[in-house]
Amino acid sequence: MFLLPKNWILVRDTKLTGKGVFVKHEITGGTVIGDYLGTVVHPDDIEDTDGDFYDLTWSEKASVVADPETLGVHLVNHSCTPNCAMFPFRGHIIYFALRRIFAGEELTISYALNPPEADELVLFDTCRCGTPVCRGTLYNSPAVNARYYQFEEKMGGNYFHRLPGSYGTQLTLLDEYPEFVRDYPVYDLFGSWKHRAALFGDRTLPSVSTLRMLIRESGRQLSFPKMNFAVCGILNGLVVTTTK
């Protein structure tokens, strides 16, 4: 379910990914976008997806399976440099804008799948986001996923180890949601690749927390012409730059 005004969202076909979710209006960094609603099932009971991902792993005991025919954040495609992220809230997973999102941009999220077991045959998990840091797959490394799991456990609090609902039940909207989620260093954060970078006259690199704040507020990559490079984003806590 989206928590933005309905007329802000446009679902349309894309070249590579089937459907994509686009926004018609600019969105401020941190804005809560939606709640991942669906049926609560045991992860072992999820059927093969044939390359479509409409289930969200909540814990070792629970996944949420969304109905692809309904409009909701389950339609948001993967990118290795997403503009949205997941955040645990009262037993639900909500999506929020990692940074300012420009009108017309596609909403994206990291699916952060766990890598397959050594003997598991996988045919459909290729990423085609096309960004310069594309991993080529929908997987995160086990170390990165472990770090995110710890974060989710901490932020999920008492809700984390409970089922979000009994098996077979449909999650419904909560009574209230936060309007914004603050920035946390656990999230990778990149400025848009399609909009011009923001210009800065600094001769020394600002702190990582300042870089994050600048990317989140502007939605842009950060160009430092006096140092002859631009900061594209932050990946696993590392500053990613390009010469420009």
Q: How far is the CB of 18 from Zn ion (least distance, A)?
A: 16
Q: Which of 66, 76, 129, 222 binds Zn ion (CB under 5 A)?
A: 129
The one-character DSSP state at 68 is T
The one-character DSSP state at 101 is B
Q: Which of 1, 9, 56, 80 binds Zn ion (CB under 5 A)?
A: 80
Gap between the Cα atoms of 42 and 27, Å rounded = 35
Gap between the Cα atoms of 31 and 180, Å rounded = 5
Q: How far is the CB of 239 from Zn ion (least distance, A)?
A: 19
How far CA 31 is from CA of 11, 54, 86, 95, 205, in Å, comes to: 19, 23, 12, 9, 28
Which alpha helices (DSSP H) does 101-205 contain, by range?
A: 142-156
Structure tokens belonging to residue 161: 């180890």
Structure tokens belonging to residue 37: 């609603």
Stretch that binds Zn ion, among 54-62, 79-87, 109-117, 215-223 (CB under 5 A): 79-87
Q: Name the residue nearer to Zn ion (CB basis): 37 or 80.
A: 80
Q: How far is the CB of 31 from Zn ion (least distance, A)?
A: 24
Q: Which of 134, 173, 174, 199 binds Zn ion (CB under 5 A)?
A: 134
Is residue 64 at the binding interface for Zn ion, with CB under 5 A as the rule? no
Q: Name the residue nearer to Zn ion (CB basis): 79 or 223.
A: 79
The residues pairing with 141 across neighbouring beta strands, listed in sequence order, are: none
Is residue 127 at the binding interface for Zn ion, with CB under 5 A as the rule? yes
Structure tokens belonging to residue 117: 């077991």
Closest CA to 12 of 99, 107, 118: 107
Stretch that binds Zn ion, among 18-26, 36-44, 45-53, 77-85 (CB under 5 A): 77-85
Q: Are 219 and 101 in contact (CB under 8 A)?
A: yes
Q: Name the residue nearer to Zn ion (CB basis): 27 or 127.
A: 127
Q: Name the residue nearer to Zn ion (CB basis): 31 or 79.
A: 79
Binding site for Zn ion (CB under 5 A): 80, 127, 129, 134
